[in-house]
Amino acid sequence: MRPTLVFDLDGTLVDTAADLVATLNVVLEREGLAAVPFNDARAMVGHGARALIERGLAANAAARSAAEVDRLFADYIAHYSSHIADASRPFPGVSEALDHFAAAGWSLAVCTNKTEALSVQLLETLGLAARFDAICGSDTFAARKPDPLALIETIRRTGGRPERAVMVGDSKTDIDTALAAAVPVVAVDFGYTTIPVTELGPDIVISHFGELAGAVEKVRRDR
Ligand SMILES: O=C(O)COP(=O)(O)O
Ligand SMILES: [Mg+2]
């Protein structure tokens, strides 16, 4: 059985913050609310679009009913889908790292709190979708990260097992998910987080994808 390398998407594989934040601010401004400054909004990413909208509302001290948040969510998805890769690009070294692990016999997967459809659309637009054996989003399974089920089921979809897997992520959500699933976790320090990843208990931290192969060899527990 092949080992499985599972990547988070936003803030890990792809630098999506500019398009995510632009969409959030379009939705807020249509509501007559203030835009959230880029650096504040960037740190709000990681729990999916609905949570991002709720955080944008909270930043405005604005209350909305669940039905109104549903409407804002639909508005958000429609706008984001039309602007999904206006500015979003893979982080440096992603393509080479994927090449390395594919050549070394790893299955590759994505486990994100973006919806599955948007995740596939983003990766297709960037020409990366075909590199993955599974692309799983917030609505793929009965639970999403930080529930370990999302990671375990993503690994199963590749035909792999948690005992032969490594997770790569940028946020507390990813690290908590991996720890709960007993999967070793590599944190990238260039993603979206309010708390520095070094304080969140990952097995190792990298600052560039060029360091990933060495990091994975250090933390994998299957040999
Ligand atoms: O879009 C989000 O908020 C989360 O996405 P991620 O799980 O890929 O970081
Ligand atoms: Mg992320």
d(CA 46, CA 194): 11
d(CA 152, CA 165): 9
Ligand 1, atom 4, lies closest to the CA of: 46
Give pLDDT tens digits for 153-181. 999 999 999 999 999 999 999 999 999 99
Which residue shows structure tokens 């709960």? Answer: 180
Domain locations in the chain as residue ranges: 4-15+88-219, 17-82
Strands 14-15, 89-90: pairing kind: antiparallel
Give the ranges where 15-65 is alpha helix by DSSP (H).
17-30, 38-42, 49-59
Give pLDDT tens digits for 38-62. 999 999 998 889 999 999 999 999 9
Quote the pTM value: 0.96
Q: How confident is the model at residue 21 (pLDDT cuts 50, 70, 90)?
A: very high
Coil/strand/helix, residue 58: helix
d(CA 55, CA 49): 10
Ligand 1, residue 13: give the atom nearest the CA.
8
Structure tokens at 11: 């803030």
Ligand nearest to the CA of 52: 1
Helix or strand holding residue 151 (H, E)? helix 148-157
How many C-beta neighbours within 10 Å does residue 223 have? 6
Which CATH number does 17-82 carry? 1.10.150
Ligand 1, residue 11: give the atom nearest the CA.
9
Q: Catalogue the active-site residues.
A: 8
Ligand 1, residue 45: give the atom nearest the CA.
3
| Interface confidence (ipTM) of the complex | 0.93
d(CA 86, CA 78): 14
Q: Pocket around ligand 1: residues whose beta carbon is below 6 Å from it?
A: 8-11, 45-48, 52, 112-114
- Residue 22 is predicted with a pLDDT of 98
Tell whether 170 is in a known binding site. yes
Ligand nearest to the CA of 197: 2
Asked if 97 contacts 120 with a C-beta cutoff of 8 angstroms, the reply is no
Give pLDDT tens digits for 82-98. 999 999 999 999 999 99
**What is the Å distance from ligand 1's center to 171 Cα?**
9
**What is the Å distance from ligand 1's center to 113 Cα?**
4
Which CATH number does 4-15+88-219 carry? 3.40.50.1000
* DSSP state string for 85-104: TSS-EEPTTHHHHHHHHHHT
